Structures are given as C-alpha cells and as structure tokens.
C-alpha cells in the first residue's frame, strides 16, 4: 500500500477519504478489465451472455465473423441442441452478434 495512503488511514482520516481512495484505485483498474472483454457493449449483450455462457465458453465466439443468415443458423442450431432461449431472445442474440461480428469482406 502506498505510504501516503497508510499515513492518511493511520491518522484516523474519515471513512469518506478511504472510500474516495478506494474508488480512485478501482477506477484505474476497471478500464484494464474492459479492454480484455472482446464483446462490445450494446443491445443484446446481456441476453447473449446469459443464454450462451450457460452451455459453453463464449470467448471463441468473438473470433467468428458471419453473415446475419449464418448467425441465425448457428443460434437456432444451439437452441435445437438445448440452449434455453425464446425465439425473441434468439433474434436479439442474432442482431447483437451480427452487429458486433459481421462477416469480413473477402479480399479480391
């Protein structure tokens, strides 16, 4: 722990100072964790994480780049194998994945 922080705590500083220091420290850590998340924020992310992470690891999904029809085929195939999601949730997931990981253009 930083010497200055220890001195403030030892001097009996109020809990608000300690809380402020903790907040500042955590705010520096949070961005590093967000950079490790390959899934962009957006509508459908929470549904995607809830549904897809219950059956398998989700990290490999971030390496895929599909057309909307390909995402639809994949998501409904997962539903057919037991993924617990309504058709509406599947459509939300498809939209999220298509917007986040669209098919890359083939080089000509």
Chain segment 54-104, per-residue pLDDT in tens: 999 999 999 999 999 999 999 999 999 999 999 999 999 999 999 999 998
CA angle 27-1-9, nearest 5°? 90
- CB contact at 8 A, 93 and 55: no
- Distance of alpha carbon 16 from alpha carbon 18, whole angstroms: 5
CATH 1.10.760 location in the chain: 45-100
pTM reported for the whole predicted model: 0.66
CATH number of 45-100: 1.10.760
Average of per-residue pLDDT values in the chain:
79
């Amino acid at each position: 722990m930083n010497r200055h922080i220890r001195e403030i705590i030892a001097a009996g500083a109020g809990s608000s100072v300690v809380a402020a220091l903790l907040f500042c420290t955590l705010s520096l850590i949070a961005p590093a964790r967000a950079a490790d998340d390959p899934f962009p924020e957006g509508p459908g992310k929470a549904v995607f994480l809830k549904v897809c992470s219950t059956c398998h690891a989700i990290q490999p999904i971030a390496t895929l780049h599909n057309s909307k029809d390909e995402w639809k085929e994949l998501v409904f195939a997962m539903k057919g194998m037991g993924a617990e999601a309504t058709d509406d949730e599947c459509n939300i997931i498809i939209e999220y994945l298509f917007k986040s990981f669209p098919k890359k253009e083939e080089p000509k």
